[in-house]
Amino acid sequence: MSITKLDQLFAELKNKPKRRLVAAFANDAHTIEAVNKAIDLGIVEATLVGDIATMKQICKAENLDSSKFEMVQESKPQQAAHKACMLINEGKGDFIMKGLVSTDQFMRALLNKESGLVQGKSILSHVTVLESPAYHKLLIFGDVAILPLPDLSEKIAITNYLIKTAHSLGIKIPKVAVLAASEQISLKMQATLDAAILSKMGDRGQFDNAFIDGPLALDVAIDKESAQIKKLSGSVAGDADCLVFPNIESGNVFYKTNTKLAAGLIGAIVLGARVPAVLSSRGDSVQTKLYSIALAAMQA
């Protein structure tokens, strides 16, 4: 049975072995509170890398038991991110989480050739799972945070990560919409050309257990009436599980519109490294970080 609500992740994870989370520079209340809730739900064990005095002070202020966490001392954010990666490489963690460290510092640690978590020419990509009150099931989409203008090879990676995430949520044959501004293929619009290639690759079985269609505009990808009006058939139109965005601007605007104006619930991770990475914004809510932890634990 597929997961249709983000809260269902917790029950699913209780039937699996606990994974160990390593949080990089966990010097903020949101990160510690989210990790604490994940521990209380019985889905993870946790190592917090950061300034121990600060982390214990936060625990005291939030009335949390600091003994639940293993704490590793590192007072500077960049070094804390590197230390977190080293712990993963030493087999002392199953996935990594960004705390109060900037995204560029966190990514530099992941990409470090000596101590990082990225092997060879692996492509990192951000995957978001959205629970929207306006849609009948979860939507899985990317990329909204890592790849500014993905080329065809990067879109292939994005598509594979979305499919992998859908499979982990119990969606056996996800329906993937490759988005563009139009359903018409135009030589002047690279997004439509890439979408057509991905769609044909899907037809020929070059993706693992998925239906791929594109180019599709957003309305026909998620709204059956729009698809019928535009006379678009196929299994994906109007019923997409996954959305491949043509660039970071369109994906990022979609992400923030859903969370800030449309009461959407979000879990988000980065795939492509040796282990999943939770790359929540420093301003994300505790709830978003908790869902992201659960999503990473499902993939770990």
For the chain, what are the domain ranges?
Answer: 8-121+274-299, 125-260
Q: What is the dihedral of CA 73, 109, 124, 170, to 10 degrees?
A: -10
The Cα 182–Cα 221 span in angstroms is 11
Query: Can you give the pTM of this predicted structure?
Result: 0.95
Q: In the chain, which residue ranges form alpha helices assigned H by DSSP?
A: 8-14, 29-40, 52-61, 77-89, 103-111, 152-168, 190-203, 218-222, 224-229, 248-260, 286-299
Q: What pLDDT is recorded for position 259?
A: 92
- C-alpha 43/C-alpha 294 separation (Å) is 7
In tens, the pLDDT along 169-198 reads 999 999 999 999 999 999 999 999 999 999
CA distance 159 to 166: 11
Q: How confident is the model at residue 41 (pLDDT cuts 50, 70, 90)?
A: very high
Domain 8-121+274-299, second-level architecture: 3-Layer(aba) Sandwich (3.40)
**CB-count burial class (<10 Å; 0-12, 13-18, 19+) for 119:** exposed
| Cα 271 from Cα 278, distance rounded (Å) | 9
- Please state the rounded mean pLDDT for residues 139-156: 97
Which residues, 6+ apart, have CB-to-CB distance to 17 below 8 Å? Answer: none
Q: Which CATH superfamily is domain 125-260 in?
A: Isopropylmalate Dehydrogenase (3.40.718.10)
Query: Taking residues 240-258, what's their average pLDDT?
Result: 97
% residues pLDDT > 70 (the chain): 99
* 258: its two tokens: 């859903």
Mean pLDDT of the chain: 96
Tell me the pLDDT tens digit for each residue of 24-35: 999 999 999 999
Tell me if residue 197 falls in helix, strand or coil.
helix
pLDDT tens digits along 55-104: 999 999 999 999 999 999 999 999 999 999 999 999 999 999 999 999 99
Q: pLDDT of 102-142, one tens digit each?
A: 999 999 999 999 899 998 889 999 999 999 999 999 999 99
